């Protein structure tokens, strides 16, 4: 994608996606664009020539604004000072105003800041008072170097609103060395824009005062600026979230459900989110989340924010500045009604001050300020104790902004032992089982001795061991041998150990039991310590899987030691892994097989425990990612009765643009957070019934320690992969579209059962109706219809088809793939509702994005802006006559623009350049 292509594309910018109250009305729209290098005078220190920092050949200047012919040269205006030369710089610009009135202005600059350097920016209009430019709101960030781990990047930030009279004006922008910065001050300005009409920047697309009228098929640009949180917004769900968080007491587990201490049941619709830097940005962030119906934030991991405990005085302490920032963030979330989940470690990092034996410490991998304990923490009590020392220090700390120790604060809802770690995972079990491969040799020797001692406690002597293991006993197996064969994760295959399936099943089953008891003891001891400390809320072990299917059930048994079960799952993505790059795309869809992919995590729901998923997403550049948020809400939280959702991940206080940051994990984009208001409203108002248990799988401990996969997991062609799961024994993934699917490992319980699925599953028609009657999954046509009394919708490949829902008839036009949701905002049945929100999503892409024909290859990534395909559909509402249908902007504020209609029928399409609509009627 070239700048010239963007500037000449004539894209439909749909200004009415921004709030109509963004600025005062003016006689005519006016836009003023100023190049950063088009200054009148400047005292910036620019380092030119070979060896310069901002002007060398490594900077991708094609990402900068192309400049003005005869005025500027498609560069930017940079400022750089070092220890030897530290001073501020001021650039002066002229602008001519024609119309006059209130103008919003934006500036594209380098917002880098840290303790070693960066800059503070301020501005002055017509030699007036200097005012700070808020760098907490930055959007459209692009790296100017490749690779992008560098301080040379560019982003837009909102300058504010200014009243300007017609005529000439002067703008001064000052870059100052940051207070407390140790090394250098630097920054740069690429472009400045003033508008007297609603506009927000996207890449180097300039504001168009008079955009052409869009047509029905035209994709439209997302232009989202700062949210003014208008009281007129119809997507603001913050009123459904009680404030402060913890108002009803500590979160508790009651059987399979969450409820607050005073008895109110609760579901959580949350996100993983890091905190922004300043108090104002944290407040903006929390308010933004609450608006979109988010009532839970998972901090992952907490230690990455607070760091290791520091030595000083009589005890080790947290860094005071980091701790204060953390305390403030926690209190701001609490004030906004948002509870917190702590993912404490990923992994726990120790230093020599933790007292771990030096020879063992040296063997651990380097990580940050110390050493990683990943994997081996599950076997080493000394490392578990080090985790606890860190955790206890934080739980006992009194937050000055709340006045409570964290252990006593009910807004701390869930504490997780650590993230994605299991003794049964490849790392480090494969290395430990090898004994002597130069990686964990000392730890392997310890584990081997523990294995020997376990065998001796269980069998007493070699005679009993021979009887137990029979022909599977190896020649050197003995209750006195500290180097008996151990199994790597890769050896734990479904039908027994890879090396000797016919004879060593019992032997490997015992090894799995040994590891499982070791890991479960770790969790039980942590649970006991938390309760003895006085922590009253919910506990979770981790959310990780195993390396071989024979250990799957055993791993779940260890997780059952705490209050709730947690899992992670991801779908889609492409060649870039965590990032979006050109190359192969995993462009599959959930719609072609009911219950597959992310939803298949429901197979790990324990019958009598709450179930949560603290990480999930369908990763771009997958083209169908708009499907998963409603599927998760409706089938997961609704039908399956899951208790908490955390989309991965959000760390912004605003809607991102393009594919934000070219990352695979972003909540703040329309396909995710744009659908959250409709989904949160349905969840919090209980629009969906929980299904009865359709499949109860019940195993004993002897079953799970038999050395084989008693769950009988069946996978597709790819093999042992969570997204290819087809069935557990006689329970297919399709059962998850019928009713609840559960698993329990306990001795002495009732037998398993599977209800007759044919009552709900028409295999010939390729449709599955939920046991509640509220959902139908047509996996032949790849469409889900939602037909509850209140929330209704159509999701999937519905182009060219008609769907008759209880409250509305939907005829889809040429849009091949949609997520079309109807939400009765007065919480009445849709057919009676007087106030309805329509959320209409289709595909998205960046400008210049090119896929191959079937979307399995991303040829060109393109770049901002984000383009949204309009949903084209004819909607006919049942019930009383409609009184109005309005276009709603990206902030949820209804605009004055009406949708053309005939009676209760109207057509939505690209002419309206929006994904929200408001429908009103008066029911007598």
- SS3 sequence of 222-273: CCCCCCCCCCCCCCCCHHHCCCCCCCCCCEEEECCEEEECCCCECCEEEEEE
Structure tokens at 66: 């192309």
Tell me what pLDDT residue 654 has: 87
Alpha helices in 399-504 (DSSP H): 426-433, 441-459, 462-469
Helix (H, G, I), strand (E, B) or coil at 61: helix
Distance between first and last Cα of the chain: 55
Distance CA 600, CA 570 (A): 11
User: Which pLDDT belongs to residue 924?
Assistant: 72
CB of 504 closer than 8 Å to CB of 496: yes
CB atoms within 10 A of CB 8: 9
Inter-residue contact 272 to 615 (CB < 8 Å): yes
Please state, in angstroms and rounded to a whole number, the distance separating the CA atoms of residues 750 and 844: 49
Joined together, the tokens standing for residue 465 give 């061991």
- H or E element, residue 615: strand 611-619
Residue of 605, 603, 627 lying closest to 617 (CA atoms): 627
The predicted-structure confidence for 846-893, as pLDDT tens digits, reads as follows 999 999 999 999 999 998 889 999 999 999 999 999 999 999 999 999
Neighbouring residues of 918: CB distance < 8 A, sequence distance ≥ 6: 234, 835, 836, 837, 838, 884, 885, 886, 888, 894
Instruction: In whole angstroms, give the CA distance from residue 725 to residue 718.
Output: 10
For residue 769, the cross-strand partners are 776
Supply the pTM of this predicted model: 0.93
Of 687, 655, 686, 684, nearest in space to 672 by CA: 655
Residues of the chain short of pLDDT 70, as ranges, are 1-27, 47-59, 69-73, 82-86, 113-119, 146-149, 178-185, 312-314, 718-719
Contact 302, 346 (CB under 8 A): no
Q: pLDDT by residue (tens digit) across 742-776?
A: 999 999 999 999 999 999 999 999 999 999 999 99
SS3 at position 392: helix
Query: φ, ψ for residue 256 (rounded to 5)?
Result: -90, 5
Name the 3-class secondary structure at 139. strand
Predicted pLDDT of residue 63: 81
- Cα separation of 613 and 537, whole Å? 18
DSSP character string of 756-813? -GGGTEETTTTEEE-TTSSEEEETTTTEEEEE-SSSEEEEES-TT-EEE-SSEEEEE-
Distance, CA of 79 to CA of 748 (rounded, Å):
73
Q: How far apart are CA 792 and CA 878, in angstroms?
A: 13
In terms of DSSP bridges, do strands 740-745 and 693-699 run parallel, antiparallel, or are they unpaired? parallel
pLDDT of residue 23: 40
Torsion of CA 382, 386, 391, 393, to 10 degrees: 130
User: Cα-flanking dihedrals φ and ψ of residue 682, to 5°?
Assistant: -65, -40
3-state secondary structure of 450: helix
Cis geometry, peptide bond prior to residue 41 (ω within 30 degrees of 0) = no
What is the CB neighbour count within 10 angstroms for residue 521? Answer: 15
Give pLDDT, residue 192.
96
- Residues with Cβ within 8 Å of residue 464, at least 6 apart in sequence: none
Tell me the two tokens of residue 343.
Answer: 């993912």
- Closest C-alpha among 341, 384, 354 to residue 523: 384
320 CB-near residues (< 8 Å, 6+ apart): none
CB 779 within 8 A of CB 592: yes
Tokens 């402060």 locate to 244
């Amino acid at each position: 994608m070239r700048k010239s292509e963007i500037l000449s594309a004539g894209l439909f910018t749909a200004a009415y996606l921004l709030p109509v109250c963004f600025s005062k009305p003016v006689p005519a729209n006016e836009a003023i664009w100023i190049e950063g290098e088009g200054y009148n005078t400047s005292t910036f220190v620019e380092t030119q020539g070979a060896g310069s920092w901002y002007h060398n050949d490594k900077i991708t200047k094609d990402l900068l604004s192309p400049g003005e012919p005869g005025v500027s040269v498609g560069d930017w205006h940079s400022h750089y000072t070092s220890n030897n030369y530290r001073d501020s710089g001021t650039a002066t610009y002229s602008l001519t105003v024609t119309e006059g009135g209130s103008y919003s202005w934006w500036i594209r600059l380098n917002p880098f800041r840290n303790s070693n350097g960066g800059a503070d920016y301020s501005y002055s209009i017509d030699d007036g008072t200097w005012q700070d430019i808020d760098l907490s709101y930055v959007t459209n960030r692009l790296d100017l170097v490749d690779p992008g781990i560098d301080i040379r990047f560019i982003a837009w930030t909102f300058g504010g609103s200014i009243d300007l009279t017609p005529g000439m004006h002067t703008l001064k922008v000052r870059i100052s060395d940051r207070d407390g910065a140790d090394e250098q001050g630097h920054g740069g300005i690429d472009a400045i824009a003033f508008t007297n009409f609603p506009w927000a920047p996207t890449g180097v697309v300039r504001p168009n005062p008079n955009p052409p009228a869009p047509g029905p098929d035209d994709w439209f640009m997302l232009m989202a600026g700062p949210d003014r949180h208008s009281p007129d917004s119809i997507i603001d769900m913050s009123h459904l979230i009680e404030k402060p968080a913890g108002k009803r007491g500590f979160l508790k587990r009651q059987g399979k459900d969450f409820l607050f201490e005073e008895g109110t049941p609760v579901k959580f619709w949350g996100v993983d989110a890091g905190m922004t830097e300043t108090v104002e940005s944290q407040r903006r962030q929390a308010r933004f989340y609450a608006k979109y119906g988010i009532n839970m934030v998972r901090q992952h991991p907490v230690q990455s924010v607070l760091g290791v405990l520091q030595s000083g005085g009589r005890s080790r302490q947290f860094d005071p500045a980091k701790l204060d920032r953390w305390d403030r963030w926690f209190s701001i979330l609490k004030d906004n009604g948002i509870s917190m989940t702590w993912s404490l470690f990923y992994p726990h990092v120790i230093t020599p001050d933790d007292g771990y034996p030096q020879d063992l410490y040296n063997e651990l991998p380097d990580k940050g300020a110390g050493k990683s304990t990943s994997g081996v923490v599950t076997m080493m009590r000394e490392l578990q104790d080090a985790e606890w020392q860190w955790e206890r220090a934080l739980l006992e700390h009194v937050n000055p902004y709340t006045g409570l120790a964290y252990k006593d604060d009910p807004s701390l809802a869930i504490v997780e032992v650590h993230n994605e770690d299991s003794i049964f995972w490849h790392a480090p079990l494969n290395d430990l089982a090898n004994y002597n491969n130069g990686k964990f040799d000392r730890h392997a020797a310890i584990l081997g001795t523990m294995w020997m001692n376990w065998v001796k406690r269980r069998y007493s002597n070699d005679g009993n061991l021979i009887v137990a293991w029979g022909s599977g006993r190896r020649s050197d197996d003995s209750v006195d041998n500290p180097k008996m064969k151990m199994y790597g994760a890769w050896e734990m295959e479904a039908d027994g150990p890879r090396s000797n399936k016919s004879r060593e099943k019992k032997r490997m089953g015992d090894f799995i039991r040994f590891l499982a008891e070791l890991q479960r003891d770790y969790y039980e001891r942590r649970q006991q310590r938390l309760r003895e400390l006085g922590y009253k809320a919910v506990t979770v072990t981790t959310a990780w899987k195993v390396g071989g299917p024979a250990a799957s059930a055993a791993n779940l048994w260890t997780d059952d030691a705490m209050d709730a079960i947690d899992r992670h799952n991801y779908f889609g993505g492409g060649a870039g892994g965590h990032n979006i790059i050109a190359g192969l795309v995993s462009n599959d869809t959930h719609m072609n097989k009911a219950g597959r992919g992310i939803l298949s995590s429901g197979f790990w729901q324990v019958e009598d425990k709450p179930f949560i998923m603290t990480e999930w997403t369908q990763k771009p550049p997958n083209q169908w990612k708009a499907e998963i948020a409603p599927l998760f809400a409706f089938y997961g939280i609704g039908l399956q009765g899951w208790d908490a959702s955390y989309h991965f991940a959000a760390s912004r206080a605003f809607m991102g643009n393009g594919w934000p940051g070219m990352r695979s994990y972003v909540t703040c984009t329309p396909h995710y957070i744009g659908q959250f208001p409709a989904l949160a409203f349905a969840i919090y108002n209980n629009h969906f019934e929980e299904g009865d248990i359709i499949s109860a799988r019940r195993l004993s401990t002897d079953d799970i320690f038999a050395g084989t996969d008693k769950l009988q997991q069946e996978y597709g062609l790819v093999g042992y992969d969570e997204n290819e799961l087809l069935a557990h024994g006689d329970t297919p993934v399709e059962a998850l579209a019928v009713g609840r699917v559960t698993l329990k490992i306990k001795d002495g319980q009732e037998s398993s059962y599977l209800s007759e699925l044919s009552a709900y599953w028409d295999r010939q028609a390729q449709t599955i109706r939920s046991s509640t009657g509220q959902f139908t999954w047509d996996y032949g046509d790849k469409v889900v219809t939602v037909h509850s009394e209140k929330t209704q919708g159509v999701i999937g490949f519905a182009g060219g088809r008609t769907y008759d829902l209880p409250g509305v008839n939907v005829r889809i036009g040429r849009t091949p793939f949609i997520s079309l949701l109807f939400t009765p905002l007065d919480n009445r049945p849709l057919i009676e509702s007087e106030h309805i929100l329509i959320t209409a999503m289709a595909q998205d892409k960046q400008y210049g994005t090119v896929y191959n024909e079937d979307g399995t290859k991303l040829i060109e990534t393109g770049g901002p802006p984000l383009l949204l395909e309009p949903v084209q559909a004819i909607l006919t509402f049942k019930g009383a006559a409609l009184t109005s249908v309005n276009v709603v902007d990206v902030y949820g504020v209804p605009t004055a623009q009406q949708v053309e209609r005939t009676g209760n029928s109207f057509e939505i399409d690209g002419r309206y350049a929006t994904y929200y609509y408001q429908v009103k009627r008066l029911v007598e």
